[in-house]
């Protein structure tokens, strides 16, 4: 019985010592593959890539984007929800300045699915993505317009009240 107690005591001390001792300092070494050059990534101010998500709660993850006039912009839209495109479709629609969101949204609902919820052949739109459903993604690349503030929305019926934001072009 004494041997069992001493063995348990020794195991407990070993565990305390190994788990609670000083932490070793670890040096992280940079890994370089043979035959390659180390290159610094340069920030390209002429190009901007923005990841935008929409969900089943009718929310974009970004409410404000800032870019430079003339900059090439890529919007990567991903629907992180689960609902079908017919029930909870999402897109990205960048409106021209001065376009009323409520009026545009009414026209979009009237235009319907056949026009991908974009009314009047897109006359009030700078650029838009296609409509996507849960788990899908799409992207659009365009040149940022002149300096100013532009509204972006989801044109699926009823979504623009919550799914909207500002693109600020400097």
Query: What pLDDT is recorded for position 57?
Result: 96
Query: What pLDDT is recorded for position 147?
Result: 97
Query: What pLDDT is recorded for position 46?
Result: 81
Q: For residues 87 and 132, what is the distance between their CA atoms, to the nearest angstrom?
A: 11
Q: What is the chain's pLDDT, residue by residue, as a tens digit (170 residues)?
A: 566 555 555 565 555 555 554 444 444 455 544 544 444 434 457 889 999 999 999 999 999 999 999 999 999 999 999 999 999 999 999 999 999 999 999 999 999 999 999 999 999 999 999 999 999 999 999 999 999 999 999 999 999 999 999 999 99
With residue 107 as reference, give the H or E element that holds it.
Answer: helix 101-111
Residue with tokens 């430079």: 68
Q: For residues 58 and 80, what is the distance between their CA atoms, to the nearest angstrom?
A: 11
The first and second tokens of residue 19, run together, are 């788990």
Phi/psi of residue 86, each to 5°?
-75, -20
Q: What is the dihedral of CA 134, 137, 141, 142, to 10 degrees?
A: 0
Query: What pLDDT is recorded for position 116?
Result: 93
Domains plus CATH for the chain? 47-169 (2.60.40.420)
Contact 97, 150 (CB under 8 A): yes
């Amino acid at each position: 019985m004494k041997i069992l107690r001493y063995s348990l005591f020794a195991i407990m001390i070993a565990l305390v010592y190994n788990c609670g001792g000083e932490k070793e300092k670890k040096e992280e070494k940079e890994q370089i593959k043979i035959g390659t050059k180390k290159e610094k990534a340069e920030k390209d101010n002429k190009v901007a890539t923005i990841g935008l998500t929409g969900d089943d709660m009718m929310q974009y993850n970004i409410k404000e984007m800032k870019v430079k006039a003339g900059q090439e912009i890529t919007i990567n839209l991903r629907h992180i929800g689960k609902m079908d495109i017919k029930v909870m479709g999402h897109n990205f629609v960048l409106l021209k300045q001065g376009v009323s969101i409520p009026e545009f949204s009414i026209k979009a609902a009237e235009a319907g699915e056949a026009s991908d919820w974009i009314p009047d052949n897109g006359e009030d739109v700078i650029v838009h993505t296609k409509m996507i459903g849960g788990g899908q993604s799409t992207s659009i690349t365009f040149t940022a317009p002149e300096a100013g503030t532009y509204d972006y929305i989801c044109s699926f019926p009823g979504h623009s009240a919550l799914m909207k934001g500002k693109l600020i072009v400097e």
